[in-house]
């Protein structure tokens, strides 16, 4: 069973209870989301051949520090970094390290900044130099999937409508949706109800109501959907080692549709679109 409560009355995650936020939550998320987007804009020139992902991690950390924010992932369940950097066949939760990026890599950078207690969570794909046509197509389809999910995010629809919309986009291109990781409610909490599956049946799941705040963050694979976790306990990779891509926005359901909190002020959210512009 699903119930809905005023977000201000709920400090902890409770299974099956979806918080509904008011204008204070939307204002807080707008500020945290915009700052996260600005940080992701800022790292764009650093995602280059020869640069290690630890540099990206440092740039994100310093941006947060200089703007009164804290990366939510530092000390989160033992994670020690400001961002996740997921390269090529890494699906998500890649750990920044000293290995230099190489021409042709595709990199997802996922950042959550906490500003005044509110969590802005977003990720984007960054191409390193010239990338293959199939990598480009994967990124295009992943962004189209997120867009389709966002278009389905409105009152009266359900969480399943979002997942079904994303799945349809991916599978029409004979790509697959990762099942093992989902979008999530957030606000004063990093991970809250509801879960947002990126696949599913129209009309299933929780009904969307104004005031719900959550992420949509589809992971799409060129091959099969299955993942495995490496021995570091974090890095998720495709079992068949095919390329994987992801992008993520934090959104809030409004009376008429949704508001995206993590839009890029510089228009850099979609790297391929901003490249050819």
**SS3 state of residue 195:** strand
Joined together, the tokens standing for residue 243 give 């390329």
Cβ closest to ligand MF3, residue 4 vs residue 79: 79
Listing DSSP states for 80-91 in one string gives --SEEEEETTEE
| H or E stretch covering 228 | strand 227-229
Stretch that binds ligand MF3, among 1-9, 72-80, 96-104, 259-267 (CB under 6 A): 72-80
Contact between 121 and ligand MF3 by CB under 6 A: the answer reads yes
Contact between 108 and ligand MF3 by CB under 6 A: the answer reads no
Contact between 86 and ligand MF3 by CB under 6 A: the answer reads no
What is the spatial distance between Cα 78 and Cα 32, in angstroms, rounded to a whole number? 23
What is the spatial distance between Cα 112 and Cα 24, in angstroms, rounded to a whole number? 19
Does 184 show up as a binding residue in the annotation?
yes
The single residue among 42, 51, 52, 79 that binds ligand MF3, judged by CB under 6 A, is 79
The single residue among 105, 110, 192, 193 that binds ligand MF3, judged by CB under 6 A, is 110
What is the spatial distance between Cα 122 and Cα 114, in angstroms, rounded to a whole number? 12
Cβ closest to ligand MF3, residue 16 vs residue 76: 76
CB of 48 to ligand MF3, least distance (A): 23
Contact between 73 and ligand MF3 by CB under 6 A: the answer reads yes
Does 192 show up as a binding residue in the annotation?
no
Please enumerate in sequence order all residues whose Cβ is within 8 A of that of 140, keeping only pairs 6 or more positions apart, or say none.
272
Does 171 show up as a binding residue in the annotation?
no
């Amino acid at each position: 069973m699903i119930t809905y409560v005023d977000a201000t009355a709920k400090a902890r995650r409770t299974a099956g209870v979806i918080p509904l936020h008011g204008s204070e939550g939307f204002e807080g998320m707008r500020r945290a989301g915009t700052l996260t987007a600005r940080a992701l804009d800022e790292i764009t020139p650093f995602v280059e051949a020869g640069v290690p992902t630890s540099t990206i991690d440092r740039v994100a950390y310093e941006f947060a520090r200089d703007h009164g924010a804290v990366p939510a992932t530092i000390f989160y369940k033992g994670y020690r970094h400001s961002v996740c950097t997921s390269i090529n066949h890494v699906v998500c939760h890649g750990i920044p390290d000293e290995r230099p990026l190489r021409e042709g890599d595709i990199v997802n950078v996922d950042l959550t900044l906490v500003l005044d207690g509110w969590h802005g969570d977003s990720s984007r794909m960054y191409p390193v130099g010239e990338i293959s046509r199939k990598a480009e197509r994967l990124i295009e389809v992943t962004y189209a999937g997120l867009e389709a999910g966002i278009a389905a995010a409105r009152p009266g629809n359900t969480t399943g409508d979002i997942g079904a919309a994303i799945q349809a986009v991916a599978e029409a291109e004979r790509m697959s949706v990762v099942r093992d990781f989902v979008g999530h409610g957030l606000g004063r909490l990093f991970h809250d109800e509801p879960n947002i599956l990126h696949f599913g049946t129209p009309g299933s799941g929780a009904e969307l109501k104004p005031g719900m705040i959550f992420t949509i963050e589809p992971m799409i694979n060129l091959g099969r959907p299955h993942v495995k976790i490496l021995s570091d306990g974090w890095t998720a990779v495709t079992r068949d080692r095919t390329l994987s891509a992801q992008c993520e926005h934090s959104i809030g359901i409004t009376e008429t549709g949704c508001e995206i909190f993590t839009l890029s002020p510089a228009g850099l959210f979609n790297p391929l679109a901003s490249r050819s512009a």
